Amino acid sequence: MISIKNVRFGYNSRQVVLDDFSLEFTQGGIYGLLGKNGTGKSTLLYLMMGLLRPQKGSVAIDGVGTSLRTPEVMSEVFLVPEEYDLPPISLRKYVEVIKPFYPRFSNELLEQCLANFDMTSDIDLGSLSMGQKKKVYMSVALAANTRYLLMDEPTNGLDILSKSQFRKAVIEGMSADKTIIISTHQVHDVELLLDHVCIIERNRVLLNEPIEEKDHAVNLEELFIKTVKDPL
């Protein structure tokens, strides 16, 4: 479980992003972390990863504070940021470098995810476009087989076909003990994947419910717009 309790975080004294914010993600399932730009979605993911530290409150994974960045916790969480770059080396070499940090890394799952994107592992990362790098990194993230996978705006920059391939890769890379948290404002791209929806607005959780408890006739994008526009 990922537990965020009474967290305060700001990048400076004038830019407080979260204040007395609390939220929990139980283990298992695909969560949609939804909200308008600037509501703190990316900040939350970086706090969960331990790359940022709360100024007040706590963020813990399975009871261990993420700011400690213990090897045991870090080996069970993987972050796909919105923007990143990859080193100009072969994918096989890149996997050799990161594989020791993830005990359950699966080469078979990597090949499967790459195949979903019409790619193979016999590639040079330095020769890829940004869109291709994104597909490779998401494949590596799924193949790492961590219990917690955090994705920040994963469909940004992908064309319609690639978005469909992304959804297939996530579904096939999912398992009962895995928790995937997808932060996005592009609700339509991920709504068919989600088991649980969480909508945030600054320091409030406007909605936090399993999808099956909502009327399936309701479009998730319409629900998001209505919830943000008319919060309870």
Domain ranges of the chain: 2-229
pLDDT 10s digits, 88-117: 999 999 999 999 999 999 999 999 999 999
11: which 2 tokens? 């990048």
Q: Give the β-pairing of 56-61 and 2-12.
A: antiparallel
- The residue assigned the tokens 């979605």 is 41
CA distance 150 to 167: 15
Question: In whole angstroms, how large is the CA radius of gyration of the chain?
Answer: 17
Neighbours of 5 (CB within 10 A): 15
Strands (DSSP E) contained in the chain are: 2-12, 15-25, 29-34, 56-61, 64-65, 77-80, 148-152, 179-184, 196-201, 204-210
The arrangement of secondary structure in 2-229, i.e. its CATH architecture, is: 3-Layer(aba) Sandwich (3.40)
Nearest to 89 by CA among 62, 48, 124, 45: 124
Each of the 232 residues of the chain gets a pLDDT tens digit; together they read 999 999 999 988 788 889 999 999 988 899 999 988 888 899 999 999 999 999 999 999 999 999 999 999 999 999 999 988 899 999 999 999 999 999 999 999 999 999 999 999 999 999 999 889 999 999 999 999 999 999 999 999 889 999 999 999 999 888 888 999 999 888 888 888 998 999 998 778 888 888 865 444 456 666 666 666 665 5
Q: Which of 99, 183, 180 is nearest to 143 (CA)?
A: 99
Long-range residue pairs from 216-225, CB within 8 A, at least 24 positions apart, any chain: 219/191, 220/32, 220/187, 220/188, 220/191, 220/194, 221/187, 221/188, 221/191, 223/197, 224/34, 224/187, 224/197, 224/199
The 10s digit of each residue's pLDDT in 43-70 is 999 999 999 999 999 999 999 999 999 9
User: Which one, of 18, 124, 142, lies nearest residue 80 by Cα?
Assistant: 142
Distance CA 144, CA 132 (A): 18
